[in-house]
Structure 1
Amino acid sequence: MTHVIEMFLDEEADQRVQLLWSQLSDAGIPSLATYSHGRHRPHVTLCGAPELGFDDLAEASEIIAGQLPTLTLGTLGAFPGHKGALFLGVVPSVELLDLNARLHAQLVSGKGRQWRFSGPGQWVPHCTLANGLTAAERARGLEACADFESFDSRVSAICVIDAATGERLTVLAQQSSGA
């Protein structure tokens, strides 16, 4: 079983990513909206490991301690390989890199094989648009999303997700301003 800690985007940014997912679908490219368990929301994964479990919620909550960073989704990119991905790259701020490093050190280190591109010094912060794509699908996907313009997002929540089922438990959620 694999668990991940994910940051969910604010409502406006969530809608912008879902629009990109629709554009991919219209181009015949399967987006993250329908990938695996089909319960994905637009997100940025902070860390993950085969044995990261819901027992770690208290520790994760202490590490995060109110840190809901603003994310700048600044680039459209692709991971290579025969089952590569399309993504929106997140500008790696100092606080974002520090949060990843602290979570990784406390919750992930020593718990089995680490995900490529997820640990300190390797992490590529991103919001996945589509996974498991061939090179031709990635090229068509980049074309389908060519009108992408960078945007900012507040983090609305940080959750632990069971990667197999999509089950989620909230670690920290944005406080509403109460208007």
Structure 2
Amino acid sequence: MYGLIAIFDETTEQIIKDIWKELKERSISFYAYEVEDRIPHITLAGYNDLNPSYFTKQMDAFYEGKQAIDITFNTIGSFLNSGALFLSPTVTTELIEFHSNHHKIFEQFNDDPNSLYLPNRWIPHCTIANRLSPEKLSKAFDYCSKRNATIAGQIKEVALIDVSNKNKAPIIYSKKFGK
């Protein structure tokens, strides 16, 4: 199983890592530390099976010359009955086009017609905590809603990750964007 993720600029990434660390220090969530290679991201697509070598060649060609995408997080949310807490970016035309253009070009790789990452089903988000009890979710929400100011940054890179191992999510290949 594989995921295609959008990776942020260093400052935005560090802000989110700091939130993860603070939630851990308060014994609210250990989400960031459950997977060895976890980095802050927005998942763009998920694939059950693909040829990574072929996919990354297509990825390299498609994302060549791509410019960084401005992103602003000013909302905290949760999926129903999930125990998840996430930062939700402002949904801009640029963000939606970035996502939908990927799915148009890489449609041949879509092997899950029910994927929540497909256009018209996708809810862009960066997970802060997951699988929390209602009490911990409430604490995490309270903490993050008071701690966070608007986070403005950029998507600077896309990466293909291998999520077949429960405790690891190594990057197989990534492509950095221009300024």
Q: TM-score, normalised by structure 2?
A: 0.84
- CA distance in structure 2 between the partners assigned to 1:52 and 1:97 by the alignment: 24
Matched-pair contact (CA < 8 Å) for 2:28–2:136: yes
Identify the match of residue 170 of structure 2 among 167, 170, 174. 167
Matched-pair contact (CA < 8 Å) for 2:160–2:172: yes
Deviation beyond 6 Å, 4+ runs, structure 1: none
What's the CA shift string for 1:125-164, capped at 9, x where partnerless?
1111112222222111111212211121122321101123
- CA distance in structure 2 between the partners assigned to 1:103 and 1:145 by the alignment: 31
Q: How does 1:19-98 map to 2 (within 5 A)?
A: 19-35=18-34, 37-54=35-52, 55-65=54-64, 66-81=66-81, 83-98=82-97
- CA distance in structure 2 between the partners assigned to 1:123 and 1:133 by the alignment: 22
Q: Secondary structure at the match of 2:17?
A: helix
Paired position in structure 2 for 1:122: 121
Structure 1 position 43, deviation (Å) = 1.0
For structure 1, which runs of at least 5 residues remain unmatched after alignment? Answer: none
- CA distance in structure 2 between the partners assigned to 1:79 and 1:31 by the alignment: 18
Structure 1 position 15, deviation (Å) = 1.2
- CA distance in structure 2 between the partners assigned to 1:162 and 1:136 by the alignment: 32
Change (3 A) 1:106 1:32: farther
- CA distance in structure 2 between the partners assigned to 1:40 and 1:168 by the alignment: 10
Amino acid of the structure 2 residue aligned with 1:123 = W
For structure 2, which runs of at least 5 residues remain unmatched after alignment? Answer: none
Q: Secondary structure at the match of 1:119?
A: coil
Structure 1 position 52, deviation (Å) = 4.2
Structure 1 position 58, deviation (Å) = 2.0
Aligned length: 172
Structure 1 position 124, deviation (Å) = 1.0
